Amino acid sequence: MRDAEDAERIAMAVYVDALTPARWRYRYACHMGADSREELVRFAGALGMQNEWLSSSTGRHREHFDLTPAMRRLAVAAGAVELSRREFSAKMRISR
């Protein structure tokens, strides 16, 4: 391990799902989520994302960021774990 940043990257649990066709200005998009809001916001901030881009939790799912293909590549390069859409949904589901 090179330094504290590497250790933090390994300890953080941040996930991205697969790119899918989007209904907004970008043709494809995906989601980025984490085991905790703190981890998600810290990781997103390191990528240059703003907190106001965070999509609030609604119903059964946790907060997440919508990512463009370019941001997804950056997230994966920074250590985000790639999951299928189904795996991501299961991971982000809030237990009741």
What pLDDT score was predicted for residue 56?
A: 80
Q: Mean pLDDT for each consecutive 10-residue tract of the chain (96 residues)?
A: 47 87 83 93 96 79 89 96 94 69
- Start-to-end C-alpha separation, the chain: 38
| Residue 74 neighbours by CB distance under 10 Å | 15
| Residue 61 exposed, middle or buried by CB count within 10 Å (0-12, 13-18, 19+) | middle
What pLDDT score was predicted for residue 32?
A: 96
pTM of the model: 0.80
What pLDDT score was predicted for residue 61?
A: 67
